[in-house]
Amino acid sequence: MQKTWSVRRTVIVAVLMAMNVALSSFSIPVPGGHLYFNDVVIVAAALLLSPSEAFVVGGVGAFLGDFLFYPAPMFVSLFSHGLEAVIISSFARKAAGDHKKVAAGIFLGAAVMVTGYTLGRAFVYATPAISLVKFPFECLQAGVGAVLGYSLVYRCGIERQFQHRLH
């Protein structure tokens, strides 16, 4: 039985990581920047998975997406999205159904991701000006990812399906 559990979880992590890579390969242009939807997958995965599994989906998935499509910020993505996923997953594990605590974890994870990208861009591109220009779009991406990820898991029944399939 443990083997089936392990294989199922591994497949779920792999599929979610592939979704993260796929969603980081394209964006929706918005005035002054781009909006990526891979944060939706990162937040949803973090709410469903353990912190280590969430890091693989969020951090490694974003790293691979950048590696394949735009390598300059790939290490920034690894740490920013990875830490975001670990924080959200840790809060979700400890919250035990308290949606206010889960929301606080999502907010903190999103804030860490935005901060990581803001500082990372200043380092990668050697200018803080680029970071400040992109800051509002990082906030928008984090907000959209947070709301849609939370909604998919708790409002659209993914959490129930996930628990049902693994137990």
d(CA 15, CA 57): 9
What value does the mean pLDDT take over residues 55-69?
96
Report pLDDT for 1: 41
d(CA 119, CA 10): 32
* Cβ 140 vs Cβ 30: under 8 Å: yes
Give the model confidence (pLDDT) of 4-56 as tens digits.
568 888 999 999 999 999 998 888 888 767 788 999 999 999 999 999 999 99
Give the model confidence (pLDDT) of 92-145 as tens digits.
999 877 889 999 999 999 999 999 989 998 888 778 887 788 888 889 999 999
Q: Nearest 10 degrees: CA dihedral of 146, 149, 155, 158?
A: -160
Name the token pair of 44: 């949803």
Q: Which residues contact residue 62 at a Cβ distance below 8 angstroms, ignoring those fewer than 6 apart?
A: 20, 24, 38, 42, 77, 78, 80, 81, 82
Give the model confidence (pLDDT) of 141-156 as tens digits.
999 999 999 999 999 9
The length of the chain in residues reads 167
Q: How confident is the model at residue 59 (pLDDT cuts 50, 70, 90)?
A: very high
Judged against a pLDDT cut of 80, whether residue 167 lies above it is answered with no
User: Which domains are delineated in the chain?
Assistant: 2-166 (1.10.1760.20)
Report pLDDT for 25: 85
* Cβ 118 vs Cβ 131: under 8 Å: yes
Report pLDDT for 132: 82
Backbone φ, ψ for residue 33 (5° rounding): -175, -155
Sign of CA dihedral 153, 155, 159, 161: negative
